[in-house]
Amino acid sequence: MLPPVKRSELRWLLAHHWEIAIVLLAAGSAAFVRGYADGNNLRNLMAQSAPILLLAVGQTFVLLVRGIDLTQGALAGLASAVLVVLLNSMGAPGAVLAALVIAAGVGFANGFVISRMRVDPLIGTLAGMYVITGITMYWTGGTPVTRTSDGTLSFLNFIGSTSLGIVPVSFLIAVAFAVAAHVFLRRLMLGLRIYAVGSNPKAAASLGISRTVIFGVAYSASAVFTVLASLLLTARIRQGNPHLGEGLLFESIGAAVLGGVSLAGGSGGVWAAARGVIMLALIQNALYLTDLNSHVRDVAVGVMILAGVILARRSRTGEPQ
């Protein structure tokens, strides 16, 4: 007869349920799904996960302050076209820097409208999504920007196609920025203030923490990480596509929430978002390799996200399942 599980052990299992699930899922898929552990599949898995990781990290910033950013998908499409145009005219360093500065401005404007004008984050970013989509479609006519210089193609090829062993450069870029975001949120005063505003806005205000500044920083970070994700996606297809971000928004929100970033604010972080991305990528890849119907795959992912939210809530409260 197995010994009873102690309450402290149960709490540990609840607190690390997704890490355990990731290990079990990866091992089970490698053992039972044909081609799962193949080097090419692992390379593709990392390349596909890299932009979603960046989007989920960006979404984490706004979720921590009790916000949400619905402009990510629209901004990714606009950024894709802008990046290619700027790469042709300015070269790689100037183009990427200019795109990031523009994105930070857009994000800060989102944060200002939501915090200073007291607009609900859902409504504010929904309006922003329509504005950005309209600008993108009017400018591009809804067609991809395909005219690229040799220098632009070389830069995009390097990011989108180069690997170190089986590890894509795009994945290394995503991990590097995710680590930087983790350090920012956990080690720097500004990052800690993001947690403070999300955890207890009234207490943060009494300490002199500006809600407008913190919201501006959080939404700027989301926009910046969206542009970085758009760069990785653009590098894979080697053209500026205004439709690039379609369908990505809900993956970024779903991954962050699945990993344990609280919609109520002030709880979670970059690792929580990352483990959500890993879990989603592993299960989607395994289901794809089994040739399961795409609609059935969507059902499985939806059920998994719901289960993850329930388990994450239980692990925070310490309630047994």
Where in the chain are the domains? 7-317
pLDDT of residue 258: 86
Tens digits of per-residue pLDDT, 275-291? 999 988 998 888 888 87
pLDDT digits 0-9 by tens, 16-75: 777 888 888 899 989 988 888 899 999 999 999 999 999 999 999 999 999 999 999 999
Single out the residue of 113, 88, 78, 98 nearest to residue 212, CA to CA.
Answer: 113
Find residue 163's DSSP bridge partners: 168
**Sorting pLDDT into bands at 50, 70 and 90, what band is 5?**
low
pLDDT at 275: 93
Range 259-270 burial, b when 16+ CB lie within 10 A, else e: bbbbeebbbbbb
Q: Which of 18, 23, 26 is CA-nearest to residue 285?
A: 26
Which value, in Å, is the radius of gyration of the alpha carbons in the chain?
20
Question: Does the pLDDT of residue 97 top 90, yes or no?
Answer: yes
CA distance 109 to 226: 15
Given this model, what pLDDT does residue 101 score?
A: 95
Q: What is the pLDDT of residue 314?
A: 60
pLDDT tens-digit readout, 160-186: 999 999 999 999 999 999 999 999 999
Place of tokens 């794809």: 288
Across the chain, mean pLDDT equals 90
Here the tokens at position 320 are 């047994």
What top-level class would CATH report for the domain 7-317?
A: mainly alpha
pLDDT at 41: 94
Q: What's the rounded Cα separation, in Å, for the pair 306 and 3?
A: 31
Residues 6+ apart with CB under 8 A from 28: none
Residue 1 has pLDDT above 60, yes or no: no
Angle at 244 between CA 49 and CA 143, to 5 degrees: 155
Pick left, alpha or beta for residue 68 (phi over 0 → left; psi -120 to 50 → alpha; otherwise beta).
Answer: beta
CA distance 270 to 183: 9
The tokens of 315 are what?
A: 């692990």
How many CA atoms, within 13 angstroms, populate the side-chain half-sphere of residue 14? 20
Mean pLDDT along residues 143-167: 92
Dig out the tokens for 310 from the structure.
């329930």
Above 80 in pLDDT, residue 2?
no
Query: Which pLDDT does position 318 carry in this prediction?
Result: 45
**Cα–Cα distance measured from residue 257 to residue 63, given in angstroms and rounded to the nearest whole number:** 9
d(CA 160, CA 68): 29
Other CB atoms closer than 10 Å to residue 210's CB: what's the count?
14
Output the six-digit token pair for 193. Answer: 């203030």
Q: Note the pLDDT tens digit of each residue in 183-218.
A: 999 999 999 999 999 999 999 999 999 999 999 999
pLDDT at 287: 85
| Direct distance between the N- and C-terminal alpha carbons of the chain, in angstroms, rounded to an integer | 21
DSSP one-letter code for 247: T
pLDDT tens string 108-133: 999 999 999 999 999 999 999 999 99
Does residue 77 sit in helix, strand or coil? helix
164 CB-near residues (< 8 Å, 6+ apart): 172
d(CA 223, CA 252): 13
Instruction: Provide mean pLDDT across the span 103-108.
Output: 96
Sequence-ordered strand ranges (E) for the chain: 163-164, 167-168
Are 235 and 156 in contact by the 8 Å Cβ rule? The answer is yes
